Amino acid sequence: MPYPSDFKYTKEHEWIKAEGGIATLGITNYAQESLGDIVFVELPKPGAEVTKGKTFGSIESVKAVSDLYAPASGTVSEVNGELSTAPEKINKDAHSAWMIKIKLKDPGELSSLLSAADYEKFVAEEGSH
């Protein structure tokens, strides 16, 4: 599956897309494949602060719990309510199943994130272990 070129990526397998001062984020296809069937997502409420590099929630497969790490800092403006009843949407299309939208504190934080090409390379190396 190609990684959208208008997204930025992290080594924790999150994607983020900024439009103006608002960024939408989720986890990548590689992440959902590794997790397997997703059964539970814990997300912050609108108004909550998220900090780049810190956890903002968790995602659970049948077997395990994983932390979600914020690719950038900001305030949560919207939460995808579908994921509380249908978390499997992330498995079906991880790049469409957005988790939260945030009002970015510093859009400049995105410049240090990985491009689609860099992320693909990173994932190819991970998969070879």
Partner 1 sequence: MLATEASLRKTALNPVHRRMGAKMVEFNGWEMPVEYPRSGGIIAEHMAVRTGVGLFDVSHMGDIRVSGSQALGAVQHISMNDASRLAVGQAQYSALLYPQGTFVDDVIVHRIGEDDYLLVINAGTREKDFNWVRQNSGGFGCKVENLSDDYTQIAIQGPEAVKLLQSLTDVDLSHLKFYWFTRGDVCGTRNVLIARTGYTGEDGFEIYIPSDEATSAEVWEALLAAGKEFGCLACGLGARNTLRLEAKLALYDHEISDTINVWEAGLDRFCKMERPDFIGRAALEKAKAEGLKRTLVGLEMVERGIARDGYKVRDENGREIGYVTSGSPSPFLKRNIALAYVPPEFREVGSTVNVEIRGQGVKAQVVPTPFYKRAKN
Residue 66 CB, shortest distance to partner 1, in Å, is: 12
Q: CA-to-CA distance for 70 and 53, rounded, in angstroms?
A: 5
Residue 36 found at the interface with partner 1 (CB under 8 A): yes
Considering only residues 1, 53, 58, 112, which one is a binding residue for partner 1 as defined by CB under 8 A? 58
Considering only residues 46, 51, 65, 93, which one is a binding residue for partner 1 as defined by CB under 8 A? 65
Reference 87, options 110, 53, 61, 55; nearest CA is 61
Report the 3 state secondary structure along 6-35. CCEECCCCEEEEEECCEEEEEECHHHHHHH
- Single out the segment in contact with partner 1 by CB under 8 A; choices: 9-17, 44-52, 62-70, 74-82: 62-70
The one-letter code for the residue type at 47 is G
Closer to partner 1 by Cβ: residue 61 or 73: 61
Residue 84 found at the interface with partner 1 (CB under 8 A): yes
Q: Hey, how many other C-beta atoms are within 10 angstroms of the C-beta on 64? A: 10
Q: CA-to-CA distance for 6 and 17, rounded, in angstroms?
A: 7
Residue 120 found at the interface with partner 1 (CB under 8 A): no
Contact 106, 73 (CB under 8 A): yes
Residue 33 found at the interface with partner 1 (CB under 8 A): yes
Residue 46 found at the interface with partner 1 (CB under 8 A): no
Residues that bind partner 1 (CB under 8 A): 33, 36-37, 39-40, 42, 58, 60-63, 65, 84
